[in-house]
Every structure is written in structure tokens, then in C-alpha cells.
Amino acid sequence: MENIGQIKTLISEADLKKRVEELAKQIYEDYNKRSITFICILKGSVFFTVDLAKHIPSNVKLEFIRVSSYHGTESTGKIELKIDLKDDIEGEDVLIIEDIVDTGRTLSYLKEYLKTKNPKSLKICTLLDKKERRVCEIEPEYVGFNIPDKFVLGYGLDVDEEYRNLPYIGYIDNV
């Protein structure tokens, strides 16, 4: 993406690391050391999912699902399932791992879809929560950071597939 402007830091790499470790400890304790199936929503939550899983001492199974609702910096409002789960989650304790919740449309869609697969439990963990933009009634059980209504990138989040590899969460004023 050309002419993106200067990226400003919203959440530092050190703050991300600390909060991911805190979330992992809370999840581990809440699940009473049981095995958990993480459903990583591709592509944005990959970094968060991997870092979170590394800090949970009990067994973590990884599943992947891909949905799309964005084009550039704007949500299309239409949810499209692009990659479905590979394995069965029936009877499993399932934690959906999301990078950011803003309107809530994607997670509302996914939660209803995954309920049809009969997991034992189904909860949501998001790195970032942008409540100002919420249009669907959805509240994650685990939240890394509440953030203002800014377009963010880095640590998995992108602008047209770019900037995912930044080790921090940044934002751009002109987007």
C-alpha cells in the first residue's frame, strides 16, 4: 500500500507480550487445566493465537477458520466463509481466538455457525475490542485491550495484506 503515512504506536511490543501472558494464565485457570481447542480466525489472529498457546501449560489443540468481511479499510458488512474447520469440535471446550472485535458481525456469525458443531463450551478471546463500533450484541469473555475507534495494524492486523508483521499495534491518523 503506497503512501500510508506515519504509523504511530498504540500498543507496544512489551505491553502485548505482558497482556498475552496474563490472558493465558487466566484462560488456563478458568478451564481448570483442561484441554482447549483454539479456533484461530485467519489471517489476523495467527500471531496472537500462537503466542497465547505458547503460554498455556495444558494441551491446546489448534483449528483454523477463515472468514472475510473487509475490503481495504472498510467492512463490507457481508460475511463470507472461506476456509472451514478441518476437524470435528463436538464435545470440545472451544475458544475462538480473534484479533479484533469492532462491529461484531464476524463473531456473531461464527459463534452461531460453531454452535451447530456441538462443542462442550464456546467462548471468545479477542486481542482488541473496539466497542464504539459494535452493531451486534456480542461480548468476548477474554479481552486483551479496549481500544478507541482507530484503524489499527500490526501483530497480525493488516491493510490489504500488508503490515501484519509489525511486532506492535499501530495506527495511522489519516485512515
Residue 108, domain CATH: 3.40.50.2020
- Among the listed residues 151, 150, 154, 152, the one whose alpha carbon sits nearest the alpha carbon of residue 167: 154
What is the C-alpha separation between 175 and 169, in angstroms, rounded? 15
2 domain residue, yes or no: no
Helices (H), the chain: 13-30, 46-54, 105-115
Distance of CA 86 to the CA centre of its chain: 19
Running along the chain, 175 residues long, what does each successive block of 10 average in pLDDT?
75 98 97 94 95 96 86 63 88 97 90 95 97 91 96 92 94 75
96 domain-assigned: yes
Entry pTM: 0.90
Give, for 98, the enclosing helix (H) or strand (E): strand 93-101
Interacting residues of 149 by C-beta distance below 8 A, sequence separation 6+: 130, 132, 133
pLDDT of 175 reads 54
Confirm whether 55 is domain-assigned. Answer: yes
Concerning whether 129 is annotated as a catalytic residue, the answer is: no
Q: Residue 112: which of 137, 134, 145 has the closest Cα?
A: 137
SS3 113: helix
Q: CA geometry: angle at 107 spanning 65 and 163, to 5°?
A: 65
Sequence letter at residue 153: L
Residue 5 lies in a domain: no
From 93, 102, 129, 158, the catalytic residue: 102
Q: Is 109 within a domain? A: yes
Residue 135 inside a domain? The answer is yes
Number of structural domains (the chain) is 1
Q: Is residue 127 part of a domain?
A: yes
Cα 66 from Cα 80, distance rounded (Å): 9
SS3 category, 6: coil
Residue 152 belongs to a domain: no
Cβ atoms of 105 and 136 closer than 8 Å: yes
The pLDDT value recorded for residue 119 is 97
Which structural domain, as residue segments, surrounds residue 49? 16-144
